[in-house]
Amino acid sequence: MPAAGPSRCTEMATPFPRVSRPTPMVKTISPWRRPGTHPRLPTRQFQPPPRRRGDPMKNKTPLIAALALAGTAGSVQAVELSYSGYMRAGTGVNARGGTQVCYQLAGADTKWRLGNECDYVIEPTFNAKLAEYEGSTWNVLVMPSVYHAWGPAGSNEPDTLTTRFGQIYAYGDKISQLAGGKVWAGRRFYNRLQLGINDQFLENNDGNGAGIEDMDLGAAKVSVAFMMDPNNSANENRFALPIRATGIKTLPNGDLSIYVTPSAQLKSKNQVTGIEPAKQPNGIALGLYQTLNGALGGNWIFGFKHDKTGDVKNTRIVGQYGTTIGAGTGLDVIAQYRVNDAPANGGNKWTSIGARTDTHLSGPFRFLFEAGHDQIKPDAGDTRNMTKFTAALAASAGKEPGSRPTVRLFVTHAIWNEAARLTLGGRTQEVFGDKKAGTSLGIQAETWW
């Protein structure tokens, strides 16, 4: 499915109730997630206030634009401009000498993120309400953004932080003829369903397209979109048709969300070269996500997803739990198991479990600890293991877990087995390719607004 870019934030309807904690299965954010705009699975009662790109954003500034024609003042139109955003940036060193490196097991879908993000992310978002009509509001959302992973050598100068437009689309909201839903078209973060402390998207249909979103049909809010990247070949492209139904009341304290995404190829013979593109298989994905709030003192999300494209299949089960311990400690736990089935023994089985605590010390200071373990069992080859630990001292703007802005001083240590060592790549391999452990020390700032 066409992707809008490496950025992780977004605007979209949150299928799960957010918990009231400072903000964005998922961080909509667990305190570890970065806000932006992804709807996240609810974690705990102290999540940072949910903020999603494209939703009416906090800092609203009325702007008056005076139009003058031929020296004559025209009509004056008030535009309500909302501003929100997300950023993270930092630097660090590795224990052997040189720049901080990050640790992810080869074949794992994601990594544990505290003290383990070697990149910049900058996502200021502007939402302008341009008009109102019959109770509906009409808006345009623009998000210039920067994503830059550290390295390779020679690419770290400030001017390599190239700005792109991660989102630019127009939409009408609260349209009565669409059951209170919205109509939109453009480039956007879409259908993002995110876990917190590993920053994983269980659902993601970022890209170019159009759709009708959050029609309240009583039993559920229904959304349908058409997504396709127009920058691909004129004779060959691929589209996706994501459909979701959220807010289905299955339990007194929990909702079910259903995501169905078929995808297929569009192709025709090139009349210049006489070549017809090779046929690609159709795809289908089904995701089911159940929330359970208030059980064992916290909030839960249980998910199941199966997707198939041709002979390649993935099946995943996942659970996330978030709670508060005492007056000042937040706890988040994620566990999941995913099976990838591919021809010629090309698949694998991934098991992942990890947790993070975030404890208030005094004033703005907090102590965070995260531990995560990943295992990959390939259909052919030896089992790979990696365990990562991070301890961090943070100065944050608040007592609550997930308070932002925050500046963190951290030390990260990872250990892995021989099979994992043989599959290390990139900068991690350059520094620790002859070892079965590595350590990094760094500082990072992160905030959303």
Q: Do β-strands 243-251 and 236-240 pair in parallel, antiparallel, or remain unpaired?
A: unpaired
Q: What pLDDT score does 160 carry?
A: 75
Rounded to the nearest angstrom, the gap between the alpha carbon of residue 131 and the centroid of all alpha carbons in its chain is: 30
Tell me how far apart the alpha carbons of residues 79 and 76 are, in angstroms, rounded to a whole number. 10
Contact 28, 54 (CB under 8 A): no
Q: What is the dihedral of CA 239, 173, 248, 198, to 10 degrees?
A: 60
Contact 12, 204 (CB under 8 A): no
What are the structural domain ranges in the chain? 59-65+77-448
Tell me how far apart the alpha carbons of residues 192 and 145 are, in angstroms, rounded to a whole number. 17
Q: Over the stretch 297-330, which tens digit does the pLDDT of each residue have?
A: 999 999 999 999 999 999 999 999 999 998 889 9
Tell me how far apart the alpha carbons of residues 262 and 283 are, in angstroms, rounded to a whole number. 6
Q: Which CATH architecture has domain 59-65+77-448?
A: Beta Barrel (2.40)
Contact 389, 373 (CB under 8 A): no
Q: What pLDDT score does 90 carry?
A: 97
Neighbour-count burial for 182-211, b at 16+ CB within 10 Å, e otherwise:
bbbebbbbbbbbbbbbbbbbbbbbbbbbbb
Share of the chain above pLDDT 70, in %: 81
Tell me how far apart the alpha carbons of residues 122 and 446 are, in angstroms, rounded to a whole number. 10
Q: What pLDDT score does 327 carry?
A: 83
Contact 286, 259 (CB under 8 A): yes
Per-residue model confidence as pLDDT tens for the chain (449 residues): 444 444 443 333 333 333 333 333 333 333 333 433 434 444 443 333 333 333 434 455 555 443 333 444 444 567 899 999 999 999 999 999 999 999 999 999 999 999 999 999 999 999 999 999 999 999 999 999 999 999 866 665 666 788 899 999 999 999 999 999 999 999 999 999 999 899 999 999 999 999 999 999 999 999 999 999 999 999 999 999 999 999 999 999 999 999 999 999 999 999 999 999 999 999 999 999 999 999 999 999 999 999 999 999 999 999 999 999 988 899 999 999 999 999 999 999 999 999 999 999 999 999 999 999 999 999 999 999 999 999 999 999 999 998 999 999 999 999 999 999 999 999 999 999 999 999 999 999 999 99
Query: Which of 275, 354, 348, 340 is CA-nearest to residue 116?
Result: 354
Query: Which of 130, 140, 143 is CA-nearest to residue 448?
Result: 143
Tell me how far apart the alpha carbons of residues 407 and 277 are, in angstroms, rounded to a whole number. 51
Tell me how far apart the alpha carbons of residues 263 and 243 are, in angstroms, rounded to a whole number. 11
Radius of gyration of the chain (CA): 23
Tell me how far apart the alpha carbons of residues 153 and 287 are, in angstroms, rounded to a whole number. 40
Q: Which residues contact 427 (CB under 8 A, 6 or more apart)?
A: 99, 101, 102, 118, 150, 151, 152
Q: Over the stretch 178-229, which tens digit does the pLDDT of each residue have?
A: 999 999 999 999 999 999 899 999 999 999 999 999 999 999 999 999 999 9
Tell me how far apart the alpha carbons of residues 91 and 19 are, in angstroms, rounded to a whole number. 31
Bridge partners for 149 per DSSP: 119
